[in-house]
Structure 1
């Protein structure tokens, strides 16, 4: 039974279309018999016409049918068929320079492709395809091919055009490639909303909910500290963490094994190691964590290091709460933090 206080909280989230509540609750509309996710764009009902549920199954058992607009039985922000088709086409021919006729051949409107890619990846389809070509160019140059050979192989007739496009995506000219690293970024759908994963070929470097405040600054700091270019794509660690997250959200996994690359001060690294020692399904206060680390008076510094964690869920900063039992802070939002704590308590052995 959801308390009246919590129902009012959920209703305010529904009015605000707050993405932090995705997967946390569903709302049934008594006047229409339909149930929706919190971010549904449909006209909002009055509070007295709402019935709230913590799972889609509960809504179905209460005789509500799923909304055709927000599709509450699918993951939030799930990749559309348009994006799936275009990403697959890019992978089949990454050197291709796309024109309007190419979209027409796939029965896709070019403006639709632009809009959906912008919403999903914060870049247009053309920018995505260009970044993919530049990733291929890096691989070819590093394997020993000359810049001119790579330029022609990636579809650029002009050396200046290739150099400008390369510099725009990578932040440096092709001739300076030896000093650069390459990271790849991909969206991962989860029941609590989409997450952004960034990784090298060897390790995961960032995992955050895409609506986290300040995420763009985090990504820029990561790029500068690692002297890396970040482009769309997949790597083995991204494939690994995607599979592990699916198992985690089903309650089948309590410890992640995807290799991690942690970028922080010695103190931060010590705190993050301490976070990983908190057992699944349990919580610890900031002061207790500080004491365990041998720094009992440094609980504020511990809290700051906790907030600087760039690997949400995997390094479980959500398991740290205030001494008085209140949640404290969480970059992904307190609603998600409470959901994660409840989820782990429910599924711990």
Structure 2
């Protein structure tokens, strides 16, 4: 699938995370929108993509009044994301939001505009990850279901299927391709490995995760399993060391995927030292394709090996931190974390 096709697919599925910070313009109205905008998606021939808002404005496009691509995330969003991280066991509902003084309607609008998903959906996915991790740890389905805050086993199974794209029964079968959930200060990550190679390392709340896992199964030639192996244990150790500030280079052997151009971009990303950043334009020049910075940005967004292939070290030409599928707040945290340990702090 071409990089352009990925953006078209992200637009049609309203998957803002898969867009990697890109915006889309509607040629007929000269309006630019966020991916995930509640407005109907335009026809393919009526679409144009921009790496940032300034590029769209330079092309004569004005910001949409519904999804507000010219506005930063509301403090409300940052506040609730902080609560998700600090209170992972809370079972959020509209009633609980009201009880804590939040307007559920306003919360929903703010999250759809900034994340392309509702707050309650994000909270539910977080609980599913916790339940899946418990199931992997040997707990029975009923125990994992209760620990994740689900009242029924069927609801838990359905949620696992939505998260992984495979039923709980399917991922409970032995396979050389193991899945593991890794807790981090930025939320759980999910890794897919065989004993010899690493196929995926992603933040588990990304909505496009099931699609990525299907690609991993195709590349590996195996179905996914919650069964652990030497590879899952190794990546758990390395991720823990990275977040502790004790590791800045991974020993895991990542599997190449995508086009030759995508691989060249990912190889170049791995040469960016921790604690430093470059622009998309500089990255394009690094691979001797100075005019291809938009294609470079799309290849950057297609990365499925978070922190190992450090796409978070690429920023906009003006120095703005933007365009990270895992969330700009995570990108900012990672850059500050790497800067600290690069300076020996």
| Alignment check: 8 A CA contact 2:128 2:156 kept | no
Aligned with 2:257 (options 259, 263, 276): 263
Q: Distance in 2 between matches of 1:260 and 1:318?
A: 17
Query: How many Å apart are 1:87 and its aligned residue?
Result: 3.9
Query: How many Å apart are 1:257 and its aligned residue?
Result: 1.0
Task: Tell me the equivalent position of 1:229.
Answer: 223
Residues 9 and 253 of structure 1: CA distance in aligned 2, closer, same or farther (over 3 Å): farther
Q: Give the SS at the match of 1:233.
A: coil
Q: Distance in 2 between matches of 1:330 and 1:89?
A: 34
Q: Deviations over 1:158-200 (max 9, x none)?
A: xxxxxxxxxxxxxxxxxxxxxxxx4222221111111111112
Q: Distance in 2 between matches of 1:85 and 1:222?
A: 21
Task: Tell me the equivalent position of 1:88.
Answer: 138
1:317 aligns with 2:311: yes
Q: Distance in 1 between matches of 2:157 and 2:275?
A: 37
Task: Tell me the equivalent position of 2:327.
Answer: 333
Q: Deviations over 1:83-125 (max 9, x none)?
A: 74884367xxxxxxx9x9xx8xxxxxx966665666567589x
Task: Tell me the equivalent position of 1:276.
Answer: 270
Matches within 5 A, 1:99-110: none
Q: Distance in 2 between matches of 1:123 and 1:272?
A: 26
1:298 aligns with 2:292: yes
TM-score, normalising length: structure 1: 0.58
Q: Distance in 1 between matches of 2:156 and 2:254?
A: 31
Q: Distance in 1 between matches of 2:190 and 2:133?
A: 17
Query: How many Å apart are 1:251 and its aligned residue?
Result: 1.3
Q: Distance in 2 between matches of 1:225 and 1:82?
A: 23
Query: How many Å apart are 1:231 and its aligned residue?
Result: 2.0
Q: Distance in 1 between matches of 2:137 and 2:190?
A: 17
Aligned with 2:100 (options 39, 44, 54): 44
Task: Tell me the equivalent position of 1:95.
Answer: none
| Alignment check: 8 A CA contact 1:184 1:231 kept | yes
Q: Which structure 1 segments of 5+ residues have no match?
A: 1-6, 27-35, 48-75, 91-97, 104-109, 139-181
User: What is the alpha-carbon root mean square deviation over aligned residues?
Assistant: 3.9
1:288 aligns with 2:282: yes
Which has the greater radius of gyration? 1
Query: How many Å apart are 1:22 and its aligned residue?
Result: 5.5
Query: How many Å apart are 1:129 and its aligned residue?
Result: 5.4
Q: Deviations over 1:259-297 (max 9, x none)?
A: 211212211111111101000011110101111111111
Q: Give the SS at the match of 2:236.
A: helix
Matches within 5 A, 1:192-207: 192-207=186-201
Q: Distance in 2 between matches of 1:8 and 1:82?
A: 30
| Alignment check: 8 A CA contact 1:285 1:321 kept | yes
1:250 aligns with 2:244: yes
| Alignment check: 8 A CA contact 2:194 2:231 kept | yes
Q: Distance in 1 between matches of 2:133 and 2:220?
A: 30
Q: Distance in 2 between matches of 1:190 and 1:270?
A: 29
| Alignment check: 8 A CA contact 1:13 1:38 kept | no
Task: Tell me the equivalent position of 1:13.
Answer: 78
| Alignment check: 8 A CA contact 2:89 2:127 kept | no
TM-score, normalising length: structure 2: 0.58
1:343 aligns with 2:332: no
Residues 237 and 245 of structure 1: CA distance in aligned 2, closer, same or farther (over 3 Å): same
